[in-house]
Chain A
Amino acid sequence: MGRVLRKLKRLLGRGRYERELAEEMSAHRAAIEVELRESGTTAEEARYAAARRFGNAARLSDESHGAIAFGAETVAQDARFAVRQLLRDPGLAVTATGILALGIAASVAIFAFVDAALIRPLPYARPDRLMDVTESAALMPHANLSYPDYVDWRRLNRSFSALATYRGDGALLQTGQGGEPVRLLKVSSNFFSTLGVTPALGRDFRAGEDAENAAPLALLSYEAWQRRFGGRRDVIGQTVMLSGVATTIIGVTPASFEFAPHSRAEFTVAMQPTNGCDKRRSCHGLMGIGRLRDGVTEAAAREEMKSIAAELERRYPDSNRGQGASVMPLAEAFSGDVRPVLLTLLCGAGLLLLIACLNVANLLLVRAEKRRREMAVRGALGASRIRLARQCVTESAVLTATGAGLGLALATGAMQVLRGLVSKDMQEGMPFLHAIGLSPHVLGFAAGVAVLAMVVFTVGPVLRLPSAELRDGLNEGGRSAAGRVWRRLGANLVVAEVAVAVVLLASAGLLTKSLWKMLHVALGFNAENLATVQVGASSTVFDTNAKQAAFARAAVERVRALPGVEQAAVTTVLPVTCNCNTDWIRFVGKPYNGVHNEVNEREVGAEYLQTLGARLTRGRMLNRDDDARHPRVVVINESFARKYFPGEDPLGKVIGNSTLTQESLRRIVGVVADIRDAGLDAEQWPTEYEAFAQSPDNYFALVVRTRGDAAAMLPAISAAVRGLSPEVGVDGEITMTSVIHDSYSAWLHRSAAWLVGGFAGLAFALSLIGLYGTIAYSVSQRTREIGVRMALGAQRVNVSRMILGEAGKLSVAGVALGLAGAVGAARLLHGLLFGVEAWDAATLGTVAVVLLIAALGASALPALRAARMNPMDALRAE
């Protein structure tokens, strides 16, 4: 203990200590001098002799110091020295740090998204045991569940300790200002307990509170509690009017609760199977969540549910024919469709990081070359190889640490920017976005990347340290065989850089082309100047078909009367939304084998198809006459006609539901060219357009063709509809072009194209810089050789041609390698590409040409400089 204290004392008073030691030693030296003089040597000789006998004062001081220093001191000393060395060449230090920071920032930012979306576990109890459980149908492997099926599944299964169900819904909340549309989540009573979520206030649902005759109960979302009720604790027991139903609030969900499919729901209501859909086994509107029992695997659960579904299929052939089961991890169900994009972006960022590291490694190699002589001298003066290697490691560590620190700072900024790119609507389905930050996973990733980079940077310079043959390093020129090998290594790094840049550029090109193709896919209607709003009429006030149809008619008339409106109509589902709201049909007069024919079902107003600008190919469109008093009719699209009436005329044929009940029969009166119902990259399904007046609903969308800017008309349209009745809510005001432009698939492809494009641009710049640097360095190394050539008669043009030839070989090699890699990468991108092949010649060709021309430009400058060299100066150069 005393030792340590004494050591510390010395360290703290280090300056004084060193002075005293120096003074002591010089006094000793003086005494030796005196002694020698007394024994007869001259003053000069005495002094030299004393100094020699005394030895290397510096080393003595060092060793005396070493006797008392801690080990860590040398590390700090090394670090200080490394920083000084790096600062001696500020250009290189700044460039290397900047490039590294860029690469690290990109990869860390993207990884943060990957972590939040794919790696971070869902915020529920034991989330790995939670499964998304639902039915599957022929056309949709991941379809919806029906309520009666859910009840049977819950009763019959043995794999799940709990099986809950949910669906999203809307309601009109009665506030002081009238009806406000709010979003609901309707759940079975065991929903929260299955997830393992306990309310922050009040209580959870009890078993049986979701029965048909139970009192309506709801839990409030934390955000709604703060916003609407001011966070008051007396909210428990209060009643709210949701679409005319008095609902009692029994609890509040915790602030940390998030449920991706319906994250904006303000009220979670106990589902009561009162409406028509919930009572029909054939109406599928729900999703299920199951918690696996201990010891049961996902595969086993899936097998069991499939066999249960098969059993139900046997028992209820009309409704359950072809209905299977789907069981997948809940996390996968929530974020599965975002996975390909995120992984693509992660690879892109990784490639950018690779280029950055290659670039910096190249810079460091060049620097190591330049310092060979310095290292050899230091080795001759007594530095051991370990010491020199340690110094290389320390320099790399300092560089990497600075670059990583800067990169992390940049990454936090980048994360915010990227998060801002996600539109409001998109954010609803991605509640994990607010968890994006420097989480432990992200920091661990950054540290791992930094260590890897450090290893890459150290390997080159350490291997390049002078070995026993110090003479080579000390000699002028140092043109040994080994030197040529290392020059080649620098060149190979550049080839790799160019190749990676080509891969990124080609990928960006393919993604951009996909995006363009997708945005220009045939819509089947005119999307310009089309305003849309979602309308909800209270189901207690508008409870009969007649009232609903009348209300829709009134809304259309009112809006049509507005100035600036050309046409208006209603529909239950807007185009370019989804393949959903489906129906099972059967054809009168055709044999029926019980297989479900699933088509998109749209109830539309009389002028809807005309308002959209759809093209009629046969028969007639719907008109005002098609109302409740007249026979039911339907218009189908070309896909429907092609699929179910190949080679025959569909007009006049009658279709109905699976049991062909009388009121379901409707006659086909017209065929329209396909209107895009689902996302831009989804397949086109058969669709039937029924007359809204013959099959009305409380909730519908209004499409309005405006004369001028559609967006500007939205407030007026909204107000006009709301003005019809206080029991009516209007939301979702958006133009058709926005719906298309901001649709999920468009957004996904656009983000991928932009981000990969950004990475590609940076990679392009970095690879050109790397190429320029390598060629310029090569020229500087070969100065004397060039001088000799010129002196022997080579013309300037020969010299520049030689340099350009070298650059050309590197570029061509890089581009060739890159093209091969690009085709491979495009294969992996397969899921994201739309309308383009992996080996799209136009894109690959363009990228190759662009890169070759740019490479030519980058190497032109050093080549010209080489050509303009004065041979005499060149020969005299070191």
Chain B
Amino acid sequence: MSKRPDLMPGTLDMMILKTLTRVPLHGYAIAQTIRQMSDEVLTVEEGSLYPALQRLLVEGWVEAEWRQTPQKRRVREYTLTQAGRAQLGVEESRFAQMVTAITRVMRDVEAEA
């Protein structure tokens, strides 16, 4: 019954926010975008996507709206809010800090060895 997420929950939220910076997207499109941009490396489990989207909605970082596609289908599109934009900045810098720190450790340990 334990979950083995492919992505760390924090990074998924960040990536979803990033994909929404330019245009509003619906759930399927967000998953596709992440897959394509990462060269098929990162597959977002749909099982992780929707809970994450709900979380972002509750925090007020995205907004959702039902729309009609040109193909006459009803989809729910998510838009980044001001607060979400700010949060994205925060998470980006935090992530960058983390990556730098880990890289430094790996390089130093190698140097030692």
Taking Cβ atoms with an 8 Å cutoff, the residues of A that contact B are: 2-3, 6-7, 10, 20-21, 23-25, 27-28, 31-32, 53-56, 59-60, 63-64, 66-68, 382, 384
Contact = CB atoms under 8 A, between A and B. Distances in A.
Contacts of A3: 58-60
Interface stretch (B43-51, B85-93, B95-103, B105-113): B43-51
B8 interface: no
Contact of B58 (A54, A56, A67): A67
13 contacts: A3-B58, A7-B58, A25-B27, A27-B75, A28-B26, A28-B28, A28-B46, A32-B28, A54-B47, A56-B47, A60-B46, A60-B47, A60-B51
A25 B76 CA distance: 10
Contacts of A25: 27, 46, 50
Given A20-B66, A24-B76, A60-B50, 5 more contacts: A24-B75, A25-B46, A60-B51, A63-B51, A67-B54
Contacts of A31: 28
A796 B42 CA distance: 73
Given A6-B57, A67-B55, A382-B1, A27 B28 contact: yes
B74 interface: yes
Contacts of A10: 58
B75 to A, nearest CB: 6
B62 to A, nearest CB: 12
Contacts, number: 61
A6 B27 CA distance: 20
Contacts of B28: 27-28, 31-32
A90 B54 CA distance: 40
Interface in B48-89: 50-51, 54-55, 57-60, 66, 73-76
B contacts with A: majority SS: helix
A66 B47 CA distance: 13
Given A28-B28, A67-B55, A55 B47 contact: yes
Among the interface residues B26, B27, B28, B76, which one has the most CB atoms of the partner chain A within 10 A? B28
In which size bucket is the chain B interface? 20 to 34
Contact of A6 (B45, B50, B58, B73): B58
Contact of A28 (B1, B27, B55, B59): B27
Contacts of B55: 67
A801 to B, nearest CB: 51
Contacts of A63: 47, 51
A28 B73 CA distance: 11
A32 B50 CA distance: 15
Contacts of B27: 24-25, 27-28
B74 A23 contact: yes
Given A31-B28, A382-B1, A67 B45 contact: no
Contact of B1 (A2, A23, A60, A384): A384
A67 to B, nearest CB: 5
Contacts of A59: 47
Contacts of B73: 27
Nearest to A10: B58
A103 B28 CA distance: 61
B109 to A, nearest CB: 38
Among the interface residues A6, A28, A59, which one has the most CB atoms of the partner chain B within 10 A? A28
